Amino acid sequence: MVKRIVYILAAVLLCGCEVIREEDRLIPVAPSGNASRTHVLIEYTGFLCVNCPNAAETAQTLIDTYGEEQLIVVAMHPATNHFTQTKKAEYDYTCSEADSCYLFMGGTVSTPFPTGNIDAVKTENGYFIDPKDWAAQLQTMNSADTPPYLEIEAAATDTTTRVVELTMQTYAESPLECRMALWLVEDSVPGAQMMPNGKTNTQYYHRHMLRSTAGGSPWGKEMNVEPVLTSHYAEMTVPEKCDIAKCAVVAVLMDKKDYHILQAKQIHLQ
């Protein structure tokens, strides 16, 4: 009996340990892609989160790698998370639509930041994906399937009324029950951000910040995408706090039931 036990213990103790040599640690990967499909990386961030600037850099390197035609980044500052909570109004970058999206995905006051999600898809670990996993997630989501067609155009924004007229065109090989949302994002917003060294940088430029949405919901309105090219018209008002020159509208086509993003396109207002 004792002998047997010793053998079992020896087997346990001799279990493997794999040591990876330095030259074998990184394996080059070619970016996968579907030229007709644009993904949306929702980046959850907050000005109190010291590691969020690193995540913003990761997002930017992904845009540089895949190109804006295949990846749109939208940075959301949800009011529910403690990394965005501040008593200084000038540091408040939250918007209610960002919070709706965050709460839908199960975000809480203490969800660790930075985090994100690609195309509002829930993985086996939930909605939230660590920035270190964004690239891998993006690689796995690129399939050869033909996505619905989506294009967006914007007329010149009226600088007095700050209203922009938008035209979206959709097409699908077979009818799809969808929702279409229009997200207004502002790039390079100067403001405060806690940096990895623990200090506040008051000259930080926040990238791709969600400012508002058409209709006040991140999930937009229900619509059908038909096998004929169809035009849809909408208007959006650019909030006073936003610089029109830095704004863009992201048209997001998502599944009607689970809100998975099927296609997205972005148009810069200037």
Q: Name the residues that contact another protein, by CB under 8 A.
A: 1-2, 5-6, 8-9, 12-13, 15-20, 22, 24-31, 48-51, 58, 61-62, 64-65, 82, 106-112, 122, 124-126, 128, 130, 132-133, 135-136, 139-140, 194, 198-199
Taking the least distance from each CB to another protein, the nearer of 50 and 172 is 50
Taking the least distance from each CB to another protein, the nearer of 131 and 220 is 131
Q: Give the DSSP per-residue string, 166-214.
A: EEEEEE-SS-EEEEEEEEEEE-SEEEEEE-TTS-EEEEEEE-SEEEEEG
| Distance in Å, CB of 246 to another protein, minimum | 24
Q: Helix axis angle, 52-66 relative to 134-141, nearest 10°?
A: 30
Taking the least distance from each CB to another protein, the nearer of 60 and 231 is 60
| Distance in Å, CB of 16 to another protein, minimum | 4
Taking the least distance from each CB to another protein, the nearer of 17 and 144 is 17
**Whole-angstrom Cα distance, residue 112 to residue 76?**
14
Contact 107, 82 (CB under 8 A): no
Half-sphere exposure of 140 (CA within 13 A, CB side): 8
List, in order, residues 6 or more apart from 211 with CB less than 8 Å away: 95, 184, 185, 186, 238, 239, 241, 242, 247
Contact 250, 182 (CB under 8 A): yes
Taking the least distance from each CB to another protein, the nearer of 138 and 150 is 138
Instruction: Record the tokens describing residue 36, joined without a space.
Output: 């007709």
Taking the least distance from each CB to another protein, the nearer of 183 and 204 is 204
Taking the least distance from each CB to another protein, the nearer of 40 and 176 is 40
**Whole-angstrom Cα distance, residue 206 to residue 179?**
28
| Distance in Å, CB of 225 to another protein, minimum | 28
**Whole-angstrom Cα distance, residue 99 to residue 79?**
6
| Distance in Å, CB of 29 to another protein, minimum | 4
| Distance in Å, CB of 163 to another protein, minimum | 35
Rounded (5°) CA angle 227-34-165: 55
The residue type found at 231 is: S
| Distance in Å, CB of 4 to another protein, minimum | 10
| Distance in Å, CB of 190 to another protein, minimum | 20
| Distance in Å, CB of 66 to another protein, minimum | 9
Contact 83, 53 (CB under 8 A): no
Taking the least distance from each CB to another protein, the nearer of 94 and 111 is 111
Instruction: Record the tokens describing residue 139, joined without a space.
Output: 């690689």
